[in-house]
């Protein structure tokens, strides 16, 4: 039955080829918004920067970089201001910015006479206490099951951002302790044996995040259907924590968050 359906569908499609006409829908191309990528991981140069761009029209996959902005982060404990300098392609850096655990920081961006601000408290990560590997996992018994264990804090409501990099994929995801509060918690990954081999490296990272950031990332990952980089230019109009101080209707996309991650490199056995 499936084969007959396929043949009929193919025949029907072929009959339409001769009358195809390209239609360009008239999506709004006149209101670009500022996009602010400010997910900062302490002591990780690749993430110790702020990236600015603007949204683009529906038919383009190139997000124009913004280099003509003022970017600074203020330590609200002592009012120290760290100015981030543009190095082109929308990237702003300050190698001397060394945030401290528990510190409250405010990001300020001035772009086209509009000021955007957001605050973030530096969060830390739970310790990775154990890694286990099972070689006969999955329904068929030919899958690797690899677990990374960490201790959840029983006294707090916790939310986590995890990253796993392997030869097979690059994954970001979110976790919470709704059903595991205070427990020794595991983060489980499945890999087909054709995708990874003994000797391959798996790079795992975890950090605690705020509830608001957890909700923001969960929405992003669910609508994108792709978890390889949730910090890239956001899809749709999911609002982050950045507020335009001059015109709240002219909001920016993106989020400001600072965290310290724990990482572990695991060698497949």
What is the residue-level pLDDT of the chain in tens, covering all 269 positions?
Answer: 433 333 334 434 444 444 555 544 444 555 789 999 999 999 998 899 999 999 876 555 677 999 999 999 999 999 999 999 999 999 999 999 999 999 999 999 999 999 999 999 999 999 999 999 999 988 888 899 999 999 999 999 999 999 999 999 999 999 999 999 999 999 999 999 999 999 999 999 999 999 999 999 988 888 765 545 666 655 556 889 999 999 999 999 999 999 999 999 999 99
Question: Do 149 and 186 form a contact (C-beta atoms < 8 A)?
Answer: yes
CA angle 105, 79, 262 (to 5 degrees): 30
CA distance 83 to 253: 21
Question: Do 148 and 118 form a contact (C-beta atoms < 8 A)?
Answer: no
Q: Identify the pLDDT of residue 91.
A: 97
Domains, in order of start, for the chain: 34-123+230-260 (2.60.40), 128-209 (2.60.40)
CA distance 203 to 205: 7
3-state secondary structure (DSSP) of residue 3:
helix
CA distance 60 to 237: 17
Query: Considering only CA atoms, which of 163, 101, 170 is closest in space to residue 128?
Result: 163
pTM of the model: 0.82
Q: Identify the pLDDT of residue 62.
A: 72
pLDDT for 30-64, tens place per residue? 578 999 999 999 999 889 999 999 987 655 567 79
Mean per-residue pLDDT over the chain, rounded:
86
pLDDT for 76-120, tens place per residue? 999 999 999 999 999 999 999 999 999 999 999 999 999 999 999
**Which residues 6+ apart lie within 8 Å of 88 measured at CB?**
65, 67
E strands along the chain, which residues? 34-41, 49-54, 70-75, 80-86, 91-93, 104-111, 114-121, 128-137, 143-151, 159-165, 170-176, 184-192, 201-209, 243-244, 253-259, 262-267
């Amino acid at each position: 039955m499936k084969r007959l359906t396929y043949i009929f569908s193919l025949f029907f499609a072929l009959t339409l080829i001769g009358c195809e006409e390209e239609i360009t829908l008239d999506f709004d191309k006149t209101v670009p918004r500022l996009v602010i990528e400010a997910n900062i991981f302490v002591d990780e140069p690749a993430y110790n920067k702020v990236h600015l761009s603007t949204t683009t029209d529906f038919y383009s996959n190139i997000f124009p970089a913004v280099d003509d902005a003022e970017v600074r982060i203020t330590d609200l404990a002592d009012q120290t201001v760290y100015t981030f300098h543009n190095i082109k392609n929308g990237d702003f850096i300050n190698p001397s910015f060394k945030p401290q655990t528990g510190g409250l920081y405010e990001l300020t961006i001035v772009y086209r006479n509009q000021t955007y601000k957001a605050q973030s408290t530096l969060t830390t990560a739970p310790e990775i206490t154990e890694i286990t590997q099972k070689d006969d996992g999955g329904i068929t018994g030919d899958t690797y099951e690899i677990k990374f264990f960490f201790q959840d804090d029983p006294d707090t409501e916790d939310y986590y951002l995890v990253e796993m990099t392997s030869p097979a994929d690059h994954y970001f995801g979110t976790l919470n302790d709704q059903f595991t509060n205070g427990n020794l918690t595991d983060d489980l990954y499945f890999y087909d044996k054709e995708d990874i081999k003994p000797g391959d490296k798996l790079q795992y990272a975890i950090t605690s995040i705020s509830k608001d950031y957890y909700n923001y990332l969960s929405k992003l990952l669910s609508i994108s259907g792709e978890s390889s980089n949730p910090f890239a230019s956001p899809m749709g109009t999911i609002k982050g924590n950045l507020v335009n101080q001059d015109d709240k209707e002219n909001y920016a996309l993106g989020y400001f968050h600072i965290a310290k991650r724990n990482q572990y490199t695991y060698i497949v056995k």
